[in-house]
Amino acid sequence: MRTSGLIHFVHGKESGPGGSKIAALAEVARVRGWDVASLDYSHTVDPAARLAQLLQACAQVRAPLVLVGLSMGGWIAAEAAARVGAHGLFLMAPALCMSGYPSQEPEVPAARTEIVHAWGDEVIPCENAIRFARLRQCTLHLVHGDHRLNARISLLRELFGAFLSRCTASDRDLIAPRQRRAR
């Protein structure tokens, strides 16, 4: 069976590769025909070291690649997106516009970037996500909840499924005009 591509999950600073949000979204991805990967970054809290690990893991990926990041993993996924030619980017409570990170302004595929952030995030102010999304004109979902978003897993599944559908639909839109011209 042909897959849609690979979804690489990047966990947060204090979580792991098999956390509840990653497990829930990986299930959504698999049902839609995507392969999934989730590396363990817990050996370091250095965002630059985690970024290097992700870049190395994605270096040989030739299929469409979607990066999904949570908190610190959101910064890592956003920073890696342009470097690895990510097809899409789905970020949850990303550590964007935060001091202590090697860069503040990662390039992202704006048309295929969606951010979910909680109004009540006590770790990363939602204003950071608002600013980042506004400057790049990405889709932003502000939801009731806290930094961990654990109470919003069913909504995250719904938003992620819709995001993957839009990514797939936009692929068809890009391919269809080329096929029409070839006739």
pLDDT digits (tens, 9 = 90+) for 85-128: 999 999 999 999 998 899 888 999 889 999 999 999 999 999 99
C-beta of residue 88 within 8 angstroms of C-beta of residue 67: yes
Tell whether domain 6-182 is in CATH 3.40.640.10.
Answer: no
Q: Which tens digit of pLDDT belongs to each residue from 14-68?
A: 899 999 999 999 999 999 999 999 999 999 999 999 999 999 999 999 999 999 9
Q: What whole-number distance in Å separates Cα of residue 103 and Cα of residue 80?
A: 12
Structure tokens at 80: 């890696």
Nearest to 86 by CA among 65, 56, 55, 111: 65
Strand runs (DSSP E) across 11-144, as ranges? 35-38, 65-70, 88-92, 113-118, 139-143
